[in-house]
Amino acid sequence: MKNILVTGGAGFIGSNFVIHMIKNRSDCRIVNYDLLTYAGNLDNLNEVKNDPRCSFVKGDICDPSAVKKLFDDNNFDAVVHFAAESHVDKSITGPAQFVTTNVLGTQILLQTAKELWENNFNTKRFIHVSTDEVYGTLGETGSFTESTPLAPNSPYSASKAGSDLLARAYFETFGFPSIITRCSNNYGPYQFPEKLIPLMITNALNDKPLPVYGDGQNVRDWLYVQDHCRAIEAVLGRGAPGQVYNIGGNNEKRNIDIVQLILTALGKPYRLIKFVPDRLGHDRRYAIDASKIKSELGWEPSVNFETGIRDTIKWYLANEWWWKKLR
């Protein structure tokens, strides 16, 4: 774990992971590679910006020459690949960028690492961070396992499924040390205010309408971002190449229940809720079976939803300086 490339390390989950590793692991150096598009924010990394073990390089994973130079300049032991276009609504109105970044960008990273690591795959790791959305939607019962067939229903999830299959193919064809993780919905500090929980918190604080898709009955499994960071750390250290690990929070909640909980916590009226036409291809329910990572790597979530959402609301209340300029 000595020298780690983190792509997308100025985004929500990536920045939380960088902070987690720098604070908890003395045996690692991190190079954060991020293009700083609208959701990338170096303010996320203020806690570690002066740490000599953490450096930042601005760049595009879709630029082969820039990625090659990055690898040539650093003898990476591992890659943790977060960089992706991830907003479902944006993928519906503009899918091309999602295919370019998520599929082509991942292939460029895989190929560059393969060429430079060819003679010592056994000492390297490439963690491809994906999403439970690649599995599609569930009925009222059951959970996604690592063997659930991929059935993506949005351009975003289709592009992530494509990148997953590339990571798998590099292992199957070349013996490349790729590992895929698929997480449920994350929440916590530094999440860009377009996502459900920070959007509802910040709108409520400004007494603005809280837009809820359809009937609000869509169910998601919610994972506190710090638990996700611990899971990736476990996969990085002990995961087996070629494997897929589902990472879930064991917190299934309806969207409408989360919105009402936030309004109650902030002392705001339910009349702020505004039901809007449902998203195209909106998956009804996700649920993760994370028994594999628990049994093989000893990880399980430590933060229940009640604690996590309380701490998240407190964070947004205490850090208006961070989100107000983004809005």
Which residues participate in catalysis according to the annotation? Answer: 132-133, 156
The one-letter amino acid code at 136 reads G
Tokens of 107: 């292939």
Q: Kindly tell me the number of DSSP H helices and DSSP E strands found in the chain.
A: 12, 12
8-state DSSP, 103 = I
Using DSSP bridges, classify how beta strands 178-183 and 125-131 pair: parallel, antiparallel or unpaired: parallel
**CA dihedral for 262, 265, 269, 270, sign (positive or negative):** positive
Contact between 55 and 3 under an 8 Å Cβ cutoff? The reply is: no
Residues in contact with 149: Cβ distance below 8 Å, sequence separation at least 6, in sequence order = 135
Contact between 214 and 282 under an 8 Å Cβ cutoff? The reply is: yes
Tokens of 225: 């971002």
